[in-house]
Structure formats: structure tokens, C-alpha cells
Amino acid sequence: MSPARRKSLFEKLSVAIPNPETELAHDNPFQLLISVILSAQATDISVNKVTPALFEAFPDPESMATARVEQILSFIRSIGLAPSKAKNIVNTCSLLVEKHQGQIPQTLEELIALPGVGRKTANVMLNTAFGKSVIAVDTHIFRVSNRTGLAIGKDVREVEDGLMKNVPRKFKKDAHHLLILHGRYVCKARKPECSQCVIRRQCQFEEKII
């Protein structure tokens, strides 16, 4: 994809999605971190159903660090992989209190050292909570990037590196949410709505499902 086509693609997405932001409900970086950990292999809708009560009971890292795993599990039981997520959440909050004075670290290295936090979650935090121009690649972004030809890769890291290289600087901060929302509602996995797609003229998709 040429630089001009990439620029046009993001210009059109920016018009179609004027407020690109996460759909995970949160009031602060701590709540976002817990929500993103819960969102692995789960929908944002399902996470948003359980977090209000969870955050009311445990509003900060200090209170969540002292909770029993069973207590956290009782709030998130409907979420996929709930037992392991509950354990990771308690351990992560313990580290936040012990090593970071209850604050969310703002470097990739410190974030991925937290239990349950991988590269994708760390990049989400850096981008959404702290305004860094990084791109977290989930299944939606992986699909859109390969379909359009924006960043072709066989794994998420290859796609991430391609996006960081190919996305115009002006759009790099918002690229994560522009691509994820486009993939979630238009460029769907099974039945992409190509006839309604604002970037169909920039897309290289050719009757194949990524």
C-alpha cells in the first residue's frame, strides 16, 4: 500500500469514527488496567457488566491487593478464564502496591512484568491511559491490517511492527481505536460489510477471510 493510500485510509476512518476511544468503561488508569486484563478472550460488553460492582467493592490497588482470589472471582465468574484472571489481578495489585506505590507504571517493560499483562495489554495502557503513539494488535486489528494490506503479517508482532512503520505519524495515536472499531463493526470476521465500508477503495481485500 502506497503512502498516499495509507494517508487516505486514515483520513476516511477519522471522519467515519470522529471519537476513537475504548469501549471499556473506566474512570482511571487502574480501572482500565483491570478491565483490559479481564477483556482477554472476552467482549467489552461482558467486561462492562461486571466491573461496576467489582470497582465499588475494590476501588483501588490497595484494596484489591488484600482481597482473596475467591472474592475477586465471585465478581468476574461470568468472564472467560475467570479463575486465572482473578489470581493475576490480585498478584498484579500486590506488585502495584509493593513496587509502584499503587500507581500504574508507564513503560512497556514495567507493565509486562505484571501478572496477566502481555504486550498487547501493555500497549493498550500506554496508548489509552497515557497517550503514547503505540498500537496494540488484537484480532480485529490483525484482520483489518492484513485484509487492507496496511500491514501484512503472520503474527501480531509482525503486524504491530508493520503498523508502527506504515501508519502516518498524524494518525498513529488514534490508529489503535480507529482500526479496532472498524474491525468490530464493519470489517467483521465472517461477513465484512464491504458495501458500507468507507475505505473500500483503499482496501486490497480479495474475497478471502483472514
Active site residue 120: yes
**CATH code of the domain containing 182:** 1.10.1670.10
Domain that holds residue 33: 29-129
**Number of structural domains in the chain:** 2
Residue 74 lies in a domain: yes
The residue assigned the cell 495489585 is 93
Q: Is residue 205 part of a domain?
A: no
Convert the pLDDT of each residue in 11-50 to its tens digit: 999 999 999 999 999 999 999 999 999 999 899 999 999 9
Domain edge (last residue) among 78, 110, 129: 129
The 3-class secondary structure across 48-116, one letter per residue, is HHHHHHHHHHCCCHHHHHCCCHHHHHHHHCCCCCHHHHHHHHHHHHHHHHHHHCCCCCCCHHHHHCCCC
pLDDT tens for each residue of 66-85: 999 999 999 999 999 999 99
Of 97, 129, 161, the domain-final residue = 129
From the candidates 60, 87, 132, 138, which is the catalytic residue? Answer: 138
60 is catalytic: no
Q: Over the stretch 1-19, which tens digit does the pLDDT of each residue have?
A: 889 999 999 999 999 999 9
123 and 71 housed in the same domain: yes
Shared domain check, 162 and 99: no
Q: Are residues 158 and 188 in the same domain?
A: yes
Given 114, 129, 144, the domain boundary residue is 129
| One domain, residues 86 and 44 | yes
State the CATH number of the domain containing residue 36.
1.10.340.30
12, 85, 120, 172: which one is catalytic? 120
